[in-house]
Amino acid sequence: MSHPPAPSGASPDPAGHPPSPPAGDAPPRAHAGPLGAGPIRDGLIREGTAQGVPPRQIVAPRPAAPTMHPKKVRGGVRLAAKDGAVCRAWSSQRWMRLVEELAPNEAMAEGLRYAQMGQARSLATDHGRITARVQGRLPAAYGVEVRLPVFEFGEWEHALASMAAEARHVAGLLAGDVPAVIEECFAPHGLRLFPSLASDLTVSCTCATANRAVRSALGMAHPEAPQSPWCKHVCCVMALVGDRLGSDPFLIFHLRGLAREDLLERFRQKRAVGGPGSDDAGAPGRPVPVYVPRLPGVDDAGATPGLERALGSFWTPGEALEALELPIREPEVSHVLLRRLGASPFEGTRFPLVGLLATCYDLIGRSARAEEAALPPADGHTPATPGDAPAADDAD
């Protein structure tokens, strides 16, 4: 078998193989590239140049279509009641009143169902803001935000002054209870403690944007009618906040810009100092203490002797004790101390300790008021009761 003559510059192979081309004329070497790609030449991947392989196309992943039922959430925020109802406390019902007026019926019903199922992955409250993540029918949770105005410092000063002027509000707030008529202290100053109008709240949810993107990617038509901002996810968050207000009514003050500790501290300061008055020099505008630890006519009589001199007569009542009147009246707020202490620390007892103490306090107070009513007046005369016949000397 004869071979073609070797080109100039090429050395013949002694074994009889074809001669190799010169180094300067050698074609570029090629080796297999990644699977589905062409050969690698000069360090570059040549797409679609392999044996009949078409060019590779990079396609974005297709978005997941909404499922028929919402994705279940493990350990989500849900309503506290076992029957799945929003707390029936006055603060909860007052909060939900605006939601019932503005939200569509279908969104309201589905939002309550979401709250019962625990579809909220997170729920946070701050001054003037409520944020939450609610899981719907898409893989990613929706972001919900509710905003309401925060009261300024001067507005809180007016409201606290009105609350401090009412004894029932004072006792209730210091005992950890918010009276149902607390809004009366805000209304005269043009303030609304609970949102009552649509302009009092600004709600938003990312479900509309997410659904629009999914519909566009899947080639589905968009709804022509604009959707209400009160979607089922917003209703779910509002129901959960209303449920929290039932166990912690001070949350409404926190949402309006004043935390519970700050509210009580400013409230005590407001109670410790009364309204504007004048001192002995006649300077107006000076604060007057509500409680004056000085009795005119008693402290002015002379200097109080020291404890060492008064040990012998320390427990002897003085003459002024008879003039001291302490009428026994029914308190405006019942069981203030028990409310302040909270639930009983003893668990598993047969009878509720707090309820037994409340019953004992009621019976003792009722008995003390009955004994005081049966006592004769200080002048020694028994008051005439209705129906008694007048005395003979008094008859005409």
pLDDT at 377 > cutoff 70 = no
Q: What is the per-residue pLDDT for 284?
A: 44
Is the confidence at residue 250, as pLDDT, over 50? yes
pLDDT tops 60 at residue 390: no
Inter-residue contact 251 to 94 (CB < 8 Å): no
Mean pLDDT of 245-255: 94
Q: Which amino acid is at 264?
A: L
For residue 3, what are its two tokens? Answer: 């071979």
pTM recorded for the entire structure = 0.55
**Highest mean pLDDT out of 33-47, 85-99, 199-213, 214-228:** 85-99
More confident residue, 155 or 330: 155
Supply the pLDDT for residue 81.
85
**How would residue 303 be classed by pLDDT, with cut points 50, 70 and 90?**
low
> Distance between CA 119 and CA 131 in Å, rounded?
14
Residues in the chain: 396
Question: What is the mean predicted confidence (pLDDT) over 274-283?
Answer: 42
Helices (H), the chain: 90-102, 105-117, 153-164, 167-174, 207-218, 232-247, 251-255, 260-272, 336-341, 353-374
Around Cβ 122, how many Cβ atoms within 10 Å? 12
Mean pLDDT across the chain: 75
Average of per-residue pLDDT across 57-69? 61
What digits encode the pLDDT tens for the residues 123-170?
A: 999 999 999 999 998 888 999 999 999 999 999 999 998 888 887 888
Which helix or strand (DSSP H or E) is residue 132 part of?
strand 129-134
Ordered DSSP codes for 7-42: PTTPPPPTTSPPPPPPGGGPPPP-B--STTS--EET
Among residues 119, 116, 131, 123, the alpha carbon closest in space to that of 79 is found at 116
The pLDDT score that the predictor gives to residue 230 is 92
The lowest-confidence range among 29-43, 115-129, 229-243 is 29-43
What are the CA-CA distances from residue 93 to residues 98, 109, 194 (Å)?
9, 16, 11
pLDDT tens digits for 354-370?
888 888 888 998 888 88
Which residues share a beta bridge with 276? 287
165 compared with 237, residue with greater pLDDT: 237
Judge whether 336 and 175 are in contact, CB under 8 Å: yes
* Interacting residues of 381 by C-beta distance below 8 A, sequence separation 6+: none
User: Taking 50 as the threshold, does the pLDDT of residue 282 lie above it?
Assistant: no
Give pLDDT, residue 116.
93
Measured CA to CA, the distance from residue 100 to residue 201 in angstroms comes to 14
Using pLDDT thresholds of 50, 70 and 90, give the confidence band for residue 219: low
pLDDT tens digits for range 184-197: 999 999 999 999 99
Which pLDDT belongs to residue 386? 47
Other Cβ atoms closer than 10 A to 34: 10
Q: At what angle do helices 153-164 and 167-174 cross, to 10 degrees?
A: 110
Long-range contacts from 369-378, C-beta under 8 angstroms, 24+ separation: 369/328, 369/329, 369/330, 372/327, 372/328
- The full set of domain ranges for the chain reads 90-157+197-258
Model confidence pLDDT, tens digit, residues 72-120: 999 999 998 878 788 889 999 999 999 999 999 999 999 999 999 999 9
Percent of the chain surpassing pLDDT 70 = 64
Which residues contact residue 162 at a Cβ distance below 8 angstroms, ignoring those fewer than 6 apart? 184, 185, 186, 188, 189
Closest CA to 242 of 367, 311, 146: 146
Least confident piece of the model among 21-30, 55-64, 152-161: 21-30
Which pLDDT band, with edges at 50, 70 and 90, does 30 fall under? very low
DSSP helix, strand, coil percent of the chain (3-state; round to 5): 35, 10, 55
Which pairs with CB-CB distance under 8 Å and at least 24 residues apart come from 358-363?
358/334, 361/335, 362/334
More confident residue, 342 or 237: 237
Work out the burial of residue 137: count CB atoms within 10 Å of its CB; fewer than 13 is exposed, 13-18 middle, 19 or more buried: middle
User: Which residues lie closer than 8 Å to 332 by C-beta, 6 or more apart?
Assistant: 167, 168, 171
pLDDT at residue 277 tops 50: no
Alpha-carbon distance 146 to 130, whole Å? 5
